[in-house]
Amino acid sequence: MIIVMKAHAPEKQVQRIIDELRGQNLQPMPLIGTERVVIAVIGDERILDVSHLSSLPGVSKVMPVLQPYKLASRETKWENTIIKIKDVEIGGDKIVMMVGPCSVESKKQIEESAAIIHKAGIRILRGGAFKPRTTPYSFQGLGEKGLKLLKQAAAPYNMIVVTEVMDPRDVPLISKYADILQIGARNMQNFNLLKEVGKTKKPILLKRGLSSTIKEFLLAAEYIMSEGNSEVILCERGIRTFETETRNTLDISVVPLLKELSHLPVVVDPSHATGKRTLVPAVSRAAIAAGADGLIVEMHPHPDEALSDGDQSITPDMLMPMMEEIKAITKAIGRSI
């Protein structure tokens, strides 16, 4: 159930509803919009006295939410969620780019990466320090040393850093270094991890699971939000199908679909979606044309020497032309970069 307050209802009226709900052992989750507050109610809704609540001052209407994901649903919040980090907004008119290597490998490699992306006007640096590798014999990431290198490389440019957290026990450590916590595809349904990052105040980049449905994806976002963290960025990175020519299969219709179903920002990862660097620019253009709020792209200063995902990492030379193409698309759809 959601309680939609009247436009510009005073804080006192909102607080009264919150207190009443708490008094009934329900968990009120206020979602603050620019015009009005919507209070989502978590708990056994059957005990709600709808006609009483509807009559309280400041209440516009009390409505059921039909989707199982209540807080992530567009039914609960009409306006797009915009996540602000430093001087960057994710989910606003401007497209955001998150670029960098799959893994942080060395001081030199991540510093070179940061310099290249800075030159291209990109504000968010990606890089994994804890890597979810298919085989235990592959490079597993540099751990805390990698986090330090990532943060140090970003610092001279005041860049924002996104990196993956794989284990609930590592959330405090990674939060010390990262601005955005990434939940990888393999952990999309690691519910303990989702709850743990839901308790932080860091924006979460949630990747779609390898074989998850859109409903499961949005319910994973709901896990994070139900712990009090409403800053979730949905990341479509393709799913596993019978096709083997590309690493995964990217269904571009997921972008407008997620936008229809949810108010959360949506980004696309063309690197893991395709597994092939030559496909990355075209898929990036398609994602932006379809309405994505941004892209997370793997770029390596020397992809042939990469310790992970070299085949799908674009070269530095590919970055600027790709940015120019994306810029042209953003103009065509009334956005900017």
* Minimum gap (Å) between residue 262 Cβ and ligand PEP: 19
> Cα 262 to chain center, whole Å?
12
Judged by beta carbon, residue 72 or residue 296, the one nearer ligand PEP is 296
DSSP classification of residue 141: -
SS3 259: helix
Return the bridge partners of 314, or none. 299
Residue 293's binding partner among ligand PEP, Mn ion, none (Cβ under 5 to 8 angstroms by kind) is: none
Residue 132's binding partner among Mn ion, ligand PEP, none (Cβ under 5 to 8 angstroms by kind) is: ligand PEP
* Minimum gap (Å) between residue 303 Cβ and ligand PEP: 14
Q: Which residue is nearest to ligand PEP (CB)?
A: 184
Of 159, 185, 184, residue with least CA distance to 99 = 159
* Minimum gap (Å) between residue 259 Cβ and Mn ion: 25
The answer to the question of residue 147 lying near Mn ion (CB under 5 A) is: no
The answer to the question of residue 102 lying near Mn ion (CB under 5 A) is: yes
232 class by beta-carbon count within 10 Å (0-12 exposed, 13-18 middle, 19+ buried): buried
Count of CA atoms in the C-beta half-sphere (13 A) of 99: 31
Judged by beta carbon, residue 83 or residue 102, the one nearer Mn ion is 102
Of 28-36, 95-103, 184-192, 276-284: span binding Mn ion (CB under 5 A): 95-103
Judged by beta carbon, residue 222 or residue 309, the one nearer Mn ion is 309
Residue 209's binding partner among ligand PEP, Mn ion, none (Cβ under 5 to 8 angstroms by kind) is: none
* Minimum gap (Å) between residue 109 Cβ and Mn ion: 14
Q: CA dist 120 to 85, 109, 123, 281, Å?
A: 19, 17, 9, 15
Residue 247's binding partner among Mn ion, ligand PEP, none (Cβ under 5 to 8 angstroms by kind) is: none
Residue 105's binding partner among Mn ion, ligand PEP, none (Cβ under 5 to 8 angstroms by kind) is: none
Q: Helices 316-332 & 280-289, crossing angle to 10 degrees? A: 20
The answer to the question of residue 309 lying near Mn ion (CB under 5 A) is: yes
> Cα 269 to chain center, whole Å?
11
Of 210, 212, 208, 157, residue with least CA distance to 179 = 157
Judged by beta carbon, residue 36 or residue 131, the one nearer ligand PEP is 131
Judged by beta carbon, residue 237 or residue 259, the one nearer ligand PEP is 237
Of 81-89, 157-165, 260-268, 308-316: span binding Mn ion (CB under 5 A): 308-316
**Burial profile 44-75: b = 16 or more Cβ within 10 angstroms, e = fewer:** eeeebeeeebeeeebbeebeebebebbbbbbb
Binding site for ligand PEP (CB under 6 A): 102, 128, 132, 184-186, 207, 237, 269, 272
Residue pair 91/265 in contact (Cβ under 8 Å)? The answer is yes
* Minimum gap (Å) between residue 209 Cβ and ligand PEP: 9
Contact residues for Mn ion (CB under 5 A)?
Answer: 102, 309
